[in-house]
Each structure stands twice: as structure tokens, then as C-alpha cells.
Amino acid sequence: MQHLGAEVGEFRGFGEGDSFDAMADGYEVLEPWYEHLYATLHAVLRRELTPPVDVPRARALDAGCGTGFQAAILDEMGYSVHGLDLSRQLLRGARERLLRAALVQGDVQTLPYRNGGFDAATCCGSTLSYVGDARHALAEIARVLRPGGRLLIECEGRWSLDLAWAWFSGLLGDPLDYELTPGEVWRAATTPRDRECRLRYPGYGMLRLFSAAELARLLRSAGLEPVRVWGIHSITNLLPSTVLHGTRPPRGLAAAYRALCRLDAALTTTPPALAFANSLALLAIRS
């Protein structure tokens, strides 16, 4: 399987660092799928995490920083940036990009920072979908945010058309290379709403999928109040995500995908996008 919305390489739970170290060399090469994901996500970041005017040198944390995609934007916006990731190799790339940021190798479930030390935080790249205990990870992020501090989180959506593509491909012998059996996909898609939904991500362990309502409940239980939510890669799933990886797609497919990306960007806050997006981005404020 190439993709169900996951950006491999960002922070994961301890014990999985070697897997993500191994793909560090190609991490900076963004395929068409990720170009749209990050263009949309980073536009939200720049708009919603503007540094507070009453704080001379606001501090921001990128929890699961990878090679520093979000951290670099926070730095450009004027924050004093701290980044944390499990992968030593990905942090090496972040250090090359971010000369002023304080970067450490660590676990988002046990953050090595003092209470209330940050004015803003990001947790993107599907980080939350890979940690063992999402509730505890969110509680840790809430702990290190000051009251009124803002968090932008991005994780895997629970239901998407890409699940249907993966199921269909499995029935036909997997011509689309999702590397999942129809049974695995079916069990994930039919998991009761009140239970955690997880799906195997070949080569990288289990991936947790969230609905917008489930994510909002987890945030509130951690003392973070949801403000706005966006669904990314909803209508674009009319195309299987796996055909948008690797080499550039053929001209006709590329043109169709660009049109779907424009429509997807216009639909991010609509109910269908929030219900069927591959990736959910949510802004929350520390109570």
C-alpha cells in the first residue's frame, strides 16, 4: 500500500524509529498527493497560528517534526521553534534546514518540556495516527501549551473513498498496490463508531483512523477546545491515491488531478469533506 493519507516519516511511537530512519533519504521528494496535502495544510497553518502580538518572542513546538516542514514555517512566522521527532535521520535533515531551532529526539507521549511553555504547537504528518495512545499524546501537548495556546493537528480520516479503492483492489488481486486484503479493509470500515479504528500500514505498523467527532472528543478530554476543522483529500479520492505516487502521472491524469485538487481546496470545511477526507486538520485552543 502506498497511501491511505499517511505521510510516512513524521514522528511515530517508540520502537518504530528504524523504519522511518530508512526512508529519510527520499523524504524531501514530495509526490503529487503530498504536494496538495501540504499546500492546503500550510495555508491553514499560516492563517491560524499567527504569533500573539503581546508576546515578544513566542515559542512554538512542532511535535513530530520530521525534517521540519511545519517547523520551518513557524520559524518564518517569527516563532522561537522547538521540534521533536523519534527518527534520528529525519532530525538530521531538520537540523540542516533549521539552523535556529532547538531539536530533540523524543516521544510525543512523554514530552521533555515544562508545563505551559509554548504559545503554539503543530502535530502533523499523521503523527497522532501512529502513536500508541492518542489520548495521552494530546494530554502531553496540552500540558506544554499555555492557556490560550493554539494547536494545529493533522491525522488520518476514518472513512474515505480510498478505503473503497483499497478494498476493490484487494478483490482483484491488488493491481493498485495497496497491499491490503479485502477483509482488513472491511473490518476497518465497519468498526463501530465508539471503538478505535486501526488499519495495517504495510511496513510501518498499525495506523489509527479518526472521525472529526472522535478527534474533537479526544481533544476536549485533554483540555483542548476544538475551533475549526478541515478535510483534505476528499474529492481527490475519486482517483486511487496509489496512482499519484512515484513518478509523475501521465498528462491527462495530472490534469484531472489538478482540477480535483482545486475542488478539494474549495470543499475543505463542508460536511462531505469532513466525513470522507483522507486527512483531517483541526485547530484547537488550550482551555
> What pLDDT, on a 0 to 100 scale, did the predictor assign at position 10?
37
Strand partners, 279: 156, 232
> What pLDDT, on a 0 to 100 scale, did the predictor assign at position 4?
47
> What pLDDT, on a 0 to 100 scale, did the predictor assign at position 99?
81
Strand partners, 89: none
The pLDDT of 121-129, averaged and rounded, is 94
Listed in sequence order, the DSSP H helices in 172-287 are: 182-189, 212-221, 251-266, 271-276
Give pLDDT tens digits for 195-204: 999 999 887 7
Percent of the chain with pLDDT over 70: 89
Chain-centroid distance of CA 224 in Å reads: 18
109-120: burial string, b at 16+ Cβ within 10 Å, e else:
bebebeeeebbb
> What pLDDT, on a 0 to 100 scale, did the predictor assign at position 205?
81
* C-alpha count within 13 angstroms, C-beta hemisphere, residue 278: 31
> What pLDDT, on a 0 to 100 scale, did the predictor assign at position 101?
86
Q: Per-residue pLDDT for 6 more than 70?
A: no
Give pLDDT tens digits for 213-234: 999 999 999 999 999 999 999 9
Name the band, by pLDDT with cuts 50, 70 and 90, for residue 97: confident
> What pLDDT, on a 0 to 100 scale, did the predictor assign at position 269?
95
> What pLDDT, on a 0 to 100 scale, did the predictor assign at position 135?
95
> What pLDDT, on a 0 to 100 scale, did the predictor assign at position 256?
94
Residues 283 and 151: their CA atoms lie apart, in Å, by 6
Q: Is residue 257 part of a domain?
A: yes
Q: Is residue 38 part of a domain?
A: yes
For residue 161, the SS3 value is helix
Q: Is residue 8 part of a domain?
A: no
Q: Is residue 6 part of a domain?
A: no
> What pLDDT, on a 0 to 100 scale, did the predictor assign at position 5?
39
Query: In sequence order, what DSSP letters do the residues of 25-60 get, joined into one string?
Result: GGTT---HHHHHHHHHHHHHHHHH-PPPTT-TT-EE
Q: Per-residue pLDDT for 24 more than 80?
A: no
* C-alpha count within 13 angstroms, C-beta hemisphere, residue 214: 21
Q: Per-residue pLDDT for 180 more than 90?
A: yes
Q: Which domain holds residue 170?
A: 17-286
Q: How many domains does the chain have?
A: 1
Q: Is residue 10 part of a domain?
A: no
CATH number at residue 144: 3.40.50.150
Give pLDDT tens digits for 137-175: 999 999 999 999 999 999 999 999 999 999 999 999 999
Q: Per-residue pLDDT for 246 more than 80?
A: no
> What pLDDT, on a 0 to 100 scale, did the predictor assign at position 9?
35
> What pLDDT, on a 0 to 100 scale, did the predictor assign at position 20?
53
Q: Is residue 42 part of a domain?
A: yes
Residue 129's CB is within 10 A of a number of other CB atoms, namely 27
The pLDDT of 100-108, averaged and rounded, is 91
User: Strands 59-63, 118-123: parallel, antiparallel or unpaired by DSSP?
Assistant: parallel
| CA nearest neighbour of 193 among 215, 173, 163, 166 | 215
> What pLDDT, on a 0 to 100 scale, did the predictor assign at position 261?
95
* Residue-averaged pLDDT of the chain: 88
For residue 78, the SS3 value is coil
pTM of the predicted model as reported, rounded to 2 decimal places: 0.87
Which range (21-30, 47-56, 239-248) has the least confidence?
A: 21-30
Q: Is residue 80 part of a domain?
A: yes
> What pLDDT, on a 0 to 100 scale, did the predictor assign at position 235?
95
Q: Is residue 2 part of a domain?
A: no
Q: Per-residue pLDDT for 94 more than 90?
A: no
